[in-house]
Structures are given as C-alpha cells and as structure tokens.
Amino acid sequence: MELVLFDLDNTLLAGDSDFEWAQYLISRGVLDKEVYEARNQTFFDQYKAGTLDIFEFLDFQLKPLARHSREQLDAWHKEFMASRVQPMMAPEARALVNRHLEEGAVVAIVTATNSFVTYPIARAFGIPHLIATVPAQEGGAFTGKPRGTPAFKDGKIERVEAWLESLGLCWSSFERSWFYSDSHNDLPLLGKVTNPVAVDPDDTLRIHATSRGWPVISLRG
C-alpha cells in the first residue's frame, strides 16, 4: 500500500486558491479593494519568503467567512470554482492524481488553505481525503477563527499523523509515501515521506531538491 499526499496551491493548481479567493471577493465588492488587495499581496509575499505568521494570516482570511451566511458563501464559491479554480486545474495534474488513484494508493491533499475553500477543489480532482486548516464554526456559522493546528509547515506533519491515526494507520503502514509540493514551506513534510517530489518549485525548494537528488517535475504542460 502506498500513501500519496499533494500540496494544493501552485502544485496541483497552477495558482493559489487562497490568494484567488480573496481576489474574487474583492472583485465582487465583498471586500474593500484598497484595504484587502494590498494586505492579500503582502501575505502572499510573506508566504513565498517563508516569513508568514500563519495566525495573523488566518485572522485576515477567515474573518470574511463570519460576516456572511453559509448559503451566500456557497453561492460565491460555486462561481469562484468556475471562474478562478477550473482554469488552474491543468490536465497534467489531473492525470497524475488519476494515476495514483488507479494504482490503489491512499490519496490526500494537505494544504494550509482552509477547508471551506479547498473541499470543493479536492472533490473536483476526485481526491477522497482533505487535510486542511479548519475554520471554526458555531451553530453552522463560521466564527472567523481556526480550529486546531493549522496545516502549515510542521503542522502538516501533525495533521497528517492525526488523520492516519483516525484511519488506524501510521507511516509504517505504507511501503512507500509520496508528497508533491512547490514550496520550501513544505520541507518538513517533504523530509518525512520516502518519495518527496518538487513540483514547479520555488528557488529555495529547487536548490534543496537538486542537492538531495529529489525528482523535480512540472505539471504546467
């Protein structure tokens, strides 16, 4: 049995769903362009630089969920999927996912982006498991805060191991484990699996992967 884990943004997707969700809300006038566009870009730049404070970012990202009904959020997300996400789902990414699924692997997306944004994306890829940052809810409404450990950096390992335990599994249950990622922020989990793969990597991850002989691939055609 094999375990196959995928990062989502800039790995399976040719873009960042976190960033694009905020940009979509700005385009709809839900968020103030002057205030949110600059902050969204700042957080994105911090993520790429490896300096992101995940809790500061989640405070920014999750607050809009608390201001609107789930019905309205779901309607916006459906339009977001069609206009922003579907164009980022490259055929090469779909083919790679399908190959692992057809081989009978246990397949999951592991992403720092919250589960409200990413669950429909995982479903669109046909991936049965999602390990994502969880937005807290009370009475069916989002609170604007995260619940539990964010799936970010070392938190990805913690969340994956908790998920495996919930299935009655552990790392040693698998003959081989894979993790595909574009980002140096994912070096902790990349170092945990038997088969790390750098996908269209940032410069830091490319240097790290090359020095260790990890495969470097592209899913951009």
Residues tagged active-site: 7, 9
133 bridge partner residues: 114
Task: Compute the distance between CA of residue 163 and CA of residue 144 in angstroms, rounded to an integer.
Answer: 24
| Four-residue CA torsion sign, 12, 180, 124, 36 | negative
Task: Compute the distance between CA of residue 102 and CA of residue 185 in angstroms, rounded to an integer.
Answer: 29
Structure-token match 């599994």, residue found: 169
Q: How far is CA 141 from CA 47, 137, 145, 205, in A?
A: 28, 5, 11, 38
The helix/strand/coil state of 128 is coil
